[in-house]
Structure 1
Amino acid sequence: MNIEERAERPCVAVSVEAPLREWGRVNALVPEVFAWLAERGIAPAGPLFYRYRVAGDMDAPFVVEVGVPVAEPAEGDDRVLAGTIPAGRYATLTHHGHPDGLYGSITRLQREAADQGLEWAMEGEVLAGCFEFYLTDPEVEPDMDRWSIELAYLIR
């Protein structure tokens, strides 16, 4: 685990509520976000991310945003949210391998943070900055066992 200070970054995202058993609905938002950007001539300014607002499980829904950083603030619409990746101190850890193995890396990050007395930033009952950044472009590396995914959690 590393601790990093990060600046605020503009982004766009689509929000969805889905339990793990319906995760295909979450993944289906990826091409929608990139199509929305392309229609507006906006280039991504960083890797695809999943931002978790509320953690769920197989039956209880997660509240998650599927998004992309952009260079300049954009104007959203009735489907796509324009927002920011918040500034602050983040606990980070990079997962190498298939996304199905993320649970082990998330557990490790949470354990190491707890061992150091760190707590995640919250906005009421909602996580303020809990991100998975997909560092590997699936068009360049289609083998998910070779992917790298950065976990970045905003610290209170």
Structure 2
Amino acid sequence: MSEFQQRSEQPYVSIPARATLREWGTVNALVPEVYGWLAARDIAPAGALFYRHKIVGGMDEPFEVEVGVPVAAPVEGDGRVLAGAKPAGRYAVRMHRGHPDRIVETHQALLAWAEEQGFPAARDGEAWVGVYESYLTDPEDEPDPVKWETEVAYLVSQPR
């Protein structure tokens, strides 16, 4: 089920990447690096790991994505790791349950629902302003991907 949620700004750190779906292992490989960066600075995560999609690609077209982790307060990046913030605003939100390979269906359903409600996803030209997949299930706690939960959230524009 989809819903709208009003959210406050949320600071985070992330590592940007550019990769096709064929190269997606390079994106997933950034997860331990971003957690390692936080641990080396004694900064605790303040929420679930997320992927921020700026440009959505495909098997041969590159995605522009950030692998990020929320933090309690703004921090400084170091060039490789960026400091940023999820923007405050109204988000269309839907839970994806199951393997991440099927998450595109959740994205499509959420986008269609938000459009029907008159709140299209916010864009800046070709780029999405705020598209987040937050991975709520830790694979070490639940190794079966069929049982994983991932929140999909889109910052939406003002109603038409």
- Which interval holds the TM-score relative to the shorter structure? over 0.9
User: Within 2, Cα distance between the matches of 1:126 and 1:104?
Assistant: 20
Q: Which residue of the partner structure matches residue 3 of structure 1?
A: 4
Q: Which residue of the partner structure matches residue 76 of structure 1?
A: 77
User: Within 1, Cα distance between the matches of 2:126 and 2:105?
Assistant: 24
User: Within 2, Cα distance between the matches of 1:36 and 1:144?
Assistant: 26
Contact kept in structure 1, 2:15 and 2:81, CA below 8 Å: yes
Q: Give the count of matched residue pairs.
A: 156
Q: Which residue of the partner structure matches residue 114 of structure 1?
A: 115
Please say which of residues 84-93 and 105-114 is displaced more in the overlay.
105-114
**TM-superposition CA deviations, 1:62-102 (whole Å, max 9, x none):** 00000000001111012000010110000000000111110
> Structure 2 length as normaliser, TM-score?
0.95
> Structure 1 length as normaliser, TM-score?
0.97
2:72 alignment partner, SS class:
coil
- Structure 1 unpaired stretches of 5+: none
**TM-superposition CA deviations, 1:21-45 (whole Å, max 9, x none):** 1110110000000000000000000
Task: Give the AA of the match of 2:155.
Answer: L
User: Within 2, Cα distance between the matches of 1:114 and 1:121?
Assistant: 11
2:138 alignment partner, SS class:
coil
Structure 1 ranges of 4+ moved more than 3 A:
none
Q: Percent identity?
A: 56
Contact kept in structure 1, 2:111 and 2:120, CA below 8 Å: no
Q: Which residue of the partner structure matches residue 28 of structure 1?
A: 29
Tell me how far 1:142 sits from its aligned partner: 1.5
Q: What is the RMSD of the two structures over their aligned residues, measured on CA atoms?
A: 0.9
1:136-147 equivalence runs, <5 A: 136-147=137-148
Tell me how far 1:117 sits from its aligned partner: 2.1
1:1-156 equivalence runs, <5 A: 1-156=2-157
Please say which of residues 121-130 and 27-36 is displaced more in the overlay.
121-130
User: Within 2, Cα distance between the matches of 1:125 and 1:106?
Assistant: 17
**TM-superposition CA deviations, 1:36-61 (whole Å, max 9, x none):** 00000000000000000011111110
- Structure 2 unpaired stretches of 5+: none
